[in-house]
């Protein structure tokens, strides 16, 4: 019994022999993949939070920005929504890129709207100038044709003044011309203004009690295109020796040796005058020329003896202008005509 007990104690102290199966089990444990640790709430705190929701202000900003290229008026709400959307994106983390795109698009729409507005303004201004030039052209055309019709009816162009109390070829003092009626009154019947013509007392001064009130009547062919209801005119003529308007003699087409298409009948003056009063330009071959045309334009209208109308630049050479004023000087009109 004692020996058996002793043997049992030795067996306990002796190291245990590992079996092959035990070694295989350990190898399997080493080769097995590590087990995933259960997810806890602490792990979620370590990861950045994903953005939630959307940024409608940024979307509206981009939409308004695109529309501003078409309407030109939505750029302002586009900018407002864009900046508000950008502010919201800082807190939510959503829509920053869209908000920036909306702001840039709205600014682009604003620039396009401004450019279109400027272009449209200049188009309207140019169209208005063109319309005024056409009206002026038509008015001077009527005056030229009326003078031609008067020549056809009487064989003469009008004298620079109208005074039936002055006998034919009777000398007239220069100082008395300002009191007389203008040649513009003489051609009224050929402008379909026969009734107005007959109401004038043609042997009295322009400012007599009978004639002065008639001077307030607007004659369309004489009116300035910018102030069509103003009873004044820029339509003027040159008078004096060699011009189409001689003081003491009548002029016919036969005396226009320089050519009817090269000789000026009337001109657009730089200042307005009473249309019924004699207030014309005295021509001096050696003197300066007056200002022509409307101050805002770079051209002025001239009515030629043949009834045609020209638009002449204000930079025209004075020599060229003087050559066109005389009817029989033999001058050659310059290339700037």
In order along its 337 residues, the chain shows pLDDT tens digits of 444 444 555 555 555 555 555 555 555 555 555 555 555 555 545 555 555 557 778 787 788 878 778 777 787 788 888 788 777 777 777 778 887 887 888 888 888 878 888 887 777 766 666 677 778 889 999 999 999 999 999 999 999 999 998 877 677 888 889 999 999 999 999 999 999 999 999 999 999 999 999 999 999 999 988 888 889 999 999 999 999 999 988 899 999 999 999 999 999 999 999 999 999 999 999 999 999 998 888 999 999 999 999 999 999 999 999 999 999 988 888 777 7
Instruction: Assess if residue 336 is contained within a domain.
Output: no
Residues 179 and 112 in one domain: no
Evaluate whether 301 touches 310 at the Cβ level (below 8 Å).
Answer: yes
Residues 220 and 99 in one domain: no
Instruction: Assess if residue 205 is contained within a domain.
Output: yes
Residues 300 and 179 in one domain: yes
pTM over 0.85: no
| HEC secondary structure over 58-101 | HHHHHHHHHHHHHHCCCHHHHHHHHHHHHHHHHHHCCCHHHHHH
pLDDT for 147 equals: 95
Q: How many residues does the chain have?
A: 337
Instruction: Assess if residue 255 is contained within a domain.
Output: yes
Residues 116 and 243 in one domain: no
Evaluate whether 90 touches 48 at the Cβ level (below 8 Å).
Answer: no
pLDDT for 11 equals: 52
pLDDT for 6 equals: 46
Evaluate whether 176 touches 161 at the Cβ level (below 8 Å).
Answer: no
Element (H, E) at 300: strand 299-304
Residues 93 and 161 in one domain: no
Evaluate whether 187 touches 158 at the Cβ level (below 8 Å).
Answer: yes
Instruction: Assess if residue 135 is contained within a domain.
Output: no
Range of the structural domain that residue 293 is part of: 155-325
Question: CA 188, 189, 190 angle in degrees (round to 5)?
Answer: 90
> Given 113, 128, 143, which residue is the final one in a domain?
128
Quick check: helix, strand or coil at residue 12? helix
First-last CA distance in the chain:
154
Say which DSSP state 201 is in: -
Number of domains in the chain: 2
Residues 104 and 232 in one domain: no
Total Cβ atoms within 10 A of residue 165 = 9
Residues 120 and 163 in one domain: no
């Amino acid at each position: 019994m004692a020996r058996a007990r002793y043997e049992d104690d030795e067996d306990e102290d002796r190291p245990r022999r590992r079996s092959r199966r035990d070694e295989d089990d350990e190898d399997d444990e080493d080769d097995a993949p590590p087990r995933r640790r259960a997810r806890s709430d602490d792990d979620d705190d370590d990861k950045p939070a994903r953005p939630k929701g959307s940024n409608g202000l940024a979307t509206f900003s981009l939409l308004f920005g695109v529309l501003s290229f078409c309407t030109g008026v939505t750029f302002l709400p586009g900018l407002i929504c864009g900046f508000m959307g950008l502010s919201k994106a800082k807190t939510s983390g959503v829509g920053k890129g869209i908000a920036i795109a909306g702001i840039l698009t709205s600014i682009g729409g604003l620039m396009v709207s401004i450019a279109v507005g400027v272009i449209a303004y200049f188009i309207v201004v140019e169209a208005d100038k063109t319309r005024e030039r056409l009206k002026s052209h038509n008015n001077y055309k009527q005056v030229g044709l009326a003078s031609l019709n008067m020549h056809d009816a009487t064989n003469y162009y009008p004298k620079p003044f109208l005074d039936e109390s002055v006998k034919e070829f009777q000398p007239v003092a220069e100082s008395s011309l300002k009191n007389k009626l203008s040649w513009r009154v003489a051609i009224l019947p050929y402008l379909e203004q026969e009734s107005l013509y007959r109401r004038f007392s043609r042997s009295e001064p322009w400012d007599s009690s009978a004639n002065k009130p008639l001077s307030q009547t607007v004659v369309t062919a004489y009116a300035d295109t910018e102030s069509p209801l103003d009873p004044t005119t820029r339509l003027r003529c040159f008078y004096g020796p060699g011009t189409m308007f001689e003081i003491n003699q009548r002029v016919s087409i036969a005396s226009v040796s320089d050519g009817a298409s090269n000789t000026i009948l009337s001109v657009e003056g730089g200042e307005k005058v009473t249309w019924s009063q004699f207030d014309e330009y005295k021509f001096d071959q050696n003197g300066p020329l007056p200002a022509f045309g409307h101050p805002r334009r770079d051209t002025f209208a001239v009515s030629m003896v043949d009834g045609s109308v020209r638009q002449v630049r204000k930079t025209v050479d004075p020599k060229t202008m003087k050559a066109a004023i005389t009817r029989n000087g033999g001058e050659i009109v310059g290339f700037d005509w």
